[in-house]
Homo-oligomer: A and B are copies of this chain.
Amino acid sequence: MMIKPGDTIGILGGGQLARMLAVAAARLGLRSHIYAPEAESPAFHVAAAHTVADYGDEAALARFADSVAVVTYEFENVPARTAALLSERRPVRPGAAVLAASQDRLVEKEFINSLGIATAPYAQVDDAGVLARAVAVVGRPCILKARRFGYDGKGQALVREGSDLAGVFRSLRGAPAILEGFVTFDCEISVVAARGEDGEFRAFDVCENLHEHHILTTTTVPSRLPVETAREAIAIAKRIADALLYVGVITVEMFVTRSETENGPVHTIKVNEIAPRVHNSGHWTIDGAVTSQFEQHVRAICGWPLGSTRRHGRIEMRNLIGAEVEQWPGLLREEGACLHLYGKTAVRTGRKMGHVTRILPDETA
């Protein structure tokens, strides 16, 4: 089915990503229908329609699907049953296979390694007994993570020298888990890219990311990586997207380690994780690129051609987390700062409330 302006796209989730997707859809003459369980969802403010219902409400899901031309989502933890029910009625993009590959940290790592792409060392941990052996293999420090439904550092426990392994295991409350070794890295990067229905692939320039307490704080573009390392990062994202027959924006987070050799420095890339969606590290594209990641995603899921990823300058994007949002008056006064606030009413520690993008002239462009 050919999607055309005037049609409605359905978005699961009502947070800031859905909000920015809905705005991008409106730019292209599309309407948005947001589906979210929370009655106070920021995306409702910019959508033509919204449904407040649980992701397990089959009748509401059916009505939602029937009201839209295509379904997408702002978060990877869409229950498999929800995706399956919607898929019976409308295309869900990216598709169910992508959700399966990215919802489970173990399946994701196995998939990435199967493409010949490196990840951190890891081991499956299904019971407390296995944990000790896994720690011996992966080495300390390492981190035990629930295989599913984790984000921003939730559902994780650190294993150091002397940690009580039984206690660590209990902290995950019996959830199937994966033990991940640490990667000593020099920088964290992400590739935000899109793959179209016809297989066309376009990546934005590589983003260099800083995290604090597992939450992204700053993205700078371009990264400080050598050109060939940046090119390799994009090639990795393309291999992953192609293998998944991906349609939409995909984000691949990676660690880069620099080591000195007798032939000069060598940069090694390991994939951290895949986000099958628009991503916080791509927010700079709203102000700093010809096409935003949100418009790019909309174009892809509608089966339309992808847009130009050309950058307008050197970029710094900073998240406004929790009480940092109270800096808004100063940011409005700062010359050239592009302020984005997400319309969330309650300020909570660690909650992403907005971001600010700064664009500087790019002498290297």
Residues from chain B with a CB closer than 8 A to the CB of A336 are 290, 308, 310
Which residues of chain A from 18 to 77 have a CB within 8 Å of any chain B CB?
Answer: 19, 22-23, 26-32, 44-48
**Distance between A343 CB and nearest chain B CB, rounded to angstroms:** 5
* A342 CA / B354 CA spacing, docked (Å): 26
Identify the closest chain B residue to A287 (Cβ). B290
A173 near B: Cβ within 8 Å? Answer: no
A335 near B: Cβ within 8 Å? Answer: yes
Tell me if B48 and A340 are in contact (CB < 8 A): no
Identify the closest chain B residue to A22 (Cβ). B46
Which residues of chain A from 323 to 360 have a CB within 8 Å of any chain B CB?
Answer: 325, 328-329, 332-333, 335-336, 338-343, 345, 354, 359
**Distance between A80 CB and nearest chain B CB, rounded to angstroms:** 31
User: What does the 1/0 interface line of A260-295 toward B look like (CB < 8 Å)?
Assistant: 000000000000000000000000000100110000
**Distance between A47 CB and nearest chain B CB, rounded to angstroms:** 8
Tell me if B44 and A341 are in contact (CB < 8 A): no
Apart from A304-B329, A308-B335, 7 more pairs, CB < 8 Å: A22-B46, A28-B340, A30-B343, A31-B343, A46-B46, A290-B338, A305-B332
**Distance between A339 CB and nearest chain B CB, rounded to angstroms:** 6
Q: Which of A22, A29, A325 has the most CB of B within 10 A?
A: A29
User: Can you give 13 contacting A-B residue pairs, CB < 8 Å?
Assistant: A5-B328, A22-B46, A23-B26, A26-B45, A27-B339, A28-B339, A32-B45, A44-B48, A45-B48, A46-B47, A46-B48, A290-B338, A305-B333
Residues from chain B with a CB closer than 8 A to the CB of A167 are none
A6 near B: Cβ within 8 Å? Answer: yes
Q: Which of B26, B290, B359 meets A19, CB within 8 Å?
A: B26
User: What does the 1/0 interface line of A82-97 toward B look like (CB < 8 Å)?
Assistant: 0000000000000000
What 3 pairs across the A-B complex have the smallest Cβ distances?
A29-B341, A45-B48, A308-B336
A312 near B: Cβ within 8 Å? Answer: yes
Identify the closest chain B residue to A308 (Cβ). B336
A238 near B: Cβ within 8 Å? Answer: no
**If the complex has contacts A290-B287, A308-B336, A333-B305, are A342 and B29 also in contact, measured as CB distance less than 8 A?**
yes
A195 near B: Cβ within 8 Å? Answer: no
Tell me if A5 and B290 are in contact (CB < 8 A): no
**If the complex has contacts A6-B345, A332-B305, A333-B305, are A45 and B31 also in contact, measured as CB distance less than 8 A?**
yes
Residues from chain B with a CB closer than 8 A to the CB of A27 are 23, 339-341
Q: Which of B6, B23, B335, B359 meets A46, CB within 8 Å?
A: B23
Residues from chain B with a CB closer than 8 A to the CB of A328 are 5, 29
Tell me if A359 and B290 are in contact (CB < 8 A): yes
A318 near B: Cβ within 8 Å? Answer: no
Residues from chain B with a CB closer than 8 A to the CB of A310 are 336
Residues from chain B with a CB closer than 8 A to the CB of A44 are 48
Residues from chain B with a CB closer than 8 A to the CB of A345 are 6
A297 near B: Cβ within 8 Å? Answer: no
**Distance between A254 CB and nearest chain B CB, rounded to angstroms:** 28
Tell me if B299 and A332 are in contact (CB < 8 A): yes
* A335 CA / B307 CA spacing, docked (Å): 7
Tell me if B343 and A26 are in contact (CB < 8 A): yes
Residues from chain B with a CB closer than 8 A to the CB of A28 are 339-341
**Distance between A178 CB and nearest chain B CB, rounded to angstroms:** 38
